[in-house]
Amino acid sequence: MKAQLKHIAVSLKEMYKELTAHRNPIYKKNRLEADIVRLVHSIEKGLSIQNPRLGFGVSKIDHLFALAKRYLETEKEDFGCIYFIVDALEAYLDFHKKNEFENDDIIKIRKNYENLCTMLPDKESIYGGTLELLLSDMDFNSEEIEKLFNTRHSIREFSGEEVDEETIRKAISLAQRCPSACNRQGVRVYSVKGSDFISQYGHSLEGIGGFAQDVDKFLLITGKKSAYALGEKNQFIVSASMFGAYLTLTLHAYNIGACTIQRPLISTKPWESYRKLKGIPSDEQLVMLIGIGKYKEKCTVPLSKRFDIDKIYKNLDGKR
């Protein structure tokens, strides 16, 4: 009974934090960005199916314009998510023009689109729309990719050399290609020197074992609760975890050893203290900790035998 009451107390505390993240005016911009990107992605998906319905998505586009108006009422510098809208609607209008389809809704959308464009400075890159992916684009060496996966291990001994900032940024940038729920990208990454992190958080790093002092840097992966609706409870964990899985592979691709360290997926006193110390927003929850360092010429790793494929996979159509 005591354990059950503790579980209920923790659940209520987490529910309160989620409600706070959604209601706190500080995170209004975060919520607007997430809603905008989610709706933009919906339009992009509609354009990406084999036979899009002419005139689709009108109510969502109307909502996008309303969100853009709210966003621009206070934001005067960061126009990234508004460029998402502009480029997606450009593709939307081009699609209907090519199909010689126009009605009152399309005319209204074009007018609102043109008005929105006049409110924005010029941009240098493409933010939205669709891409044409060719089968020939995927002419990669499967054996090398298998080698990348099969040689990735959790590394607990490092060379002692410093991992440079540029390589970390390259690995994180490449890991951003991971799936993201409606492209909301509610994931953040923080890098901190290993010795500094241990001194500030070390008393609560149970489970790491005896290698923490050898880690060059720690990467903290957080999920932004404000990027997801209340009905999407724990989606921030899923998105941050997928990102973390990709990141372990991209780090390996750039010859950086890494070890994923599990952390509590709830707010704890050590995390809250560290978050406040470093100025990490309160709507972010630590999901994953990755210790990184340069590879040694030779190191010992656990065998970590995986289950046979038949243990984890079943074809529900009865095929094999």
pLDDT for position 97: 97
Distance CA 93, CA 43 (A): 11
pLDDT for position 160: 92
Contacts of 75 (CB under 8 A, 6+ apart): 29
Q: What is the pLDDT of residues 232-283, one digit of tens each?
A: 888 999 999 999 999 999 999 999 999 998 888 888 888 899 999 999 999 9
What does residue 42 show for φ and ψ, rounded to 5 degrees?
-65, -40
Q: How many CB atoms lie within 10 A of CB 315?
A: 7
pLDDT for position 21: 65
Tokens of 292: 């990184």
pLDDT for position 266: 81
The amino acid occupying position 256 is: I
Q: Are 71 and 115 in contact (CB under 8 A)?
A: no
Distance CA 143, CA 83 (A): 39
pLDDT for position 68: 95
Distance CA 16, CA 4 (A): 18
- Ranges 62-66, 203-207, 238-242: which has the least confidence: 203-207
Q: What is the pLDDT of residues 110-166, one digit of tens each?
A: 999 999 999 998 887 888 888 888 998 888 899 999 999 999 999 999 999 999 999
- Residue 212 or residue 256, greater confidence: 256
Pairing of the two strands 256-262 and 217-224 = unpaired
Section 196-214 average pLDDT? 76
Pairing of the two strands 187-193 and 217-224 = antiparallel
Residue 3 confidence (pLDDT) above 70: no
Q: Fold for domain 142-294?
A: NADH Oxidase (3.40.109)
pLDDT for position 265: 84
Residue 22 confidence (pLDDT) above 70: no
Q: Domain segments of the chain: what residues?
A: 2-118, 142-294
pLDDT for position 31: 87
Distance CA 29, CA 258 (A): 33
Instruction: Estimate the crossing angle of helix 194-201 against helix 269-278, to 10 degrees.
Output: 130
Instruction: Estimate the crossing angle of helix 80-98 against helix 28-48, to 10 degrees.
Output: 20
Give how far Cα 48 sits from Cα of 88, 127, 130, 144, 196, Å: 12, 16, 7, 30, 47
pLDDT for position 27: 76
Burial class (CB in 10 A: 0-12, 13-18, 19+), 240: buried
- Residue 31 or residue 167, greater confidence: 167
Distance CA 65, CA 63 (A): 5
Section 171-198 average pLDDT? 94
Question: What is Dmax (Cα atoms) for the chain?
Answer: 68
Give how far Cα 90 sits from Cα of 99, 109, 183, Å: 14, 10, 19
Residue 204 confidence (pLDDT) above 70: no
The percent of residues in the chain predicted with pLDDT above 70, rounded, is: 91
The amino acid occupying position 272 is: E
Q: What is the pLDDT of residues 73-107, one digit of tens each?
A: 988 888 999 999 999 999 999 999 999 999 999 99
DSSP letters along 124-169, please? Answer: SS--SS-----GGGG---HHHHHHHHHT--B-----SPPPPHHHHH
